Chain A
Amino acid sequence: GAVVSQHPSRVICKSGTSVKIECRSLDFQATTMFWYRQFPKQSLMLMATSNEGSKATYEQGVEKDKFLINHASLTLSTLTVTSAHPEDSSFYICSAHDSQETQYFGPGTRLLVL
């Protein structure tokens, strides 16, 4: 199956700083990537759809100025959590879908804001 990587796998930062998370499709091109957030014991919550070469589309209730998404190439999307606060601490997961519209997920990034 297709491989999606994320970096970093874990990050701890101070409140007020910004954190960038990278998502890469390693063996296929992805015009569309997705960013999810997952709280303990809960299912995945879609935050935004990242489209290569255009602006991301955000789900209702997700602050686009706090969660900046850039999809600069067919294999890379980045999520920047700006001015992070403790309530932003969560597990962030990206995915990319192949030509069959099957979504493959990255390993996730654990963010802890102190």
Chain B
Amino acid sequence: EDQVTQSPEALRLQEGESSSLNCSYTVSGLRGLFWYRQDPGKGPEFLFTLYSAGEEKEKERLKATLTKKESFLHITAPKPEDSATYLCAVPYNQGGKLIFGQGTELSVKP
């Protein structure tokens, strides 16, 4: 069964304290792994797409990496404005449907 699991569920960091979020997946024939950021009361905001093991993408303080079984979202020297829920998702059929993980709620304190 296709599945996406994120850990930890919640993460509290001090400003400047780097860390990583994990997204483990089991899906046959990976056609991409997506990372989104969601602020309270808003729709998810697209961050990255990764397609193959070894691929890395960066945006400001965020870097996403992909292996054959999991993806990491590394946050370097986070700021309070990085506080949000981070979601990962993978497509599970040709129609573009996504399976979402439960998300990691990140809180960065000044």
Taking beta carbons and an 8 Å cutoff, which residues of A are in contact with B? Answer: 1, 4, 6, 32, 34, 42-44, 46, 49, 91, 93, 95, 97, 100-108, 110
Contacts and interface: CB of A to CB of B under 8 A. Distances in A.
Contacts of B96: 32, 34, 49, 97, 101, 103
Most A C-beta atoms less than 10 A away, residue of B31, B42, B89, B102? B42
Contacts of B101: 43
A7 to B, nearest CB: 13
A105 B41 contact: no
Given A43-B101, A43-B102, A46-B98, A1 B43 contact: no
7 contacts: A42-B102, A43-B100, A43-B101, A43-B102, A46-B97, A46-B98, A97-B96
Closest 5 CB pairs of A and B: A105-B43, A108-B43, A105-B44, A43-B100, A93-B43
A4 B101 CA distance: 22
A109 B46 CA distance: 18
B34 A102 contact: yes
A48 B102 CA distance: 19
Interface in B11-36: 31-32, 34, 36
Interface residues of B, number: 22
B54 interface: no
A103 B98 contact: yes
Given A6-B43, A44-B100, A103-B98, 4 more contacts: A44-B44, A105-B45, A107-B43, A108-B41
A49 B41 contact: no
Contacts of B102: 42-43
B103 interface: yes
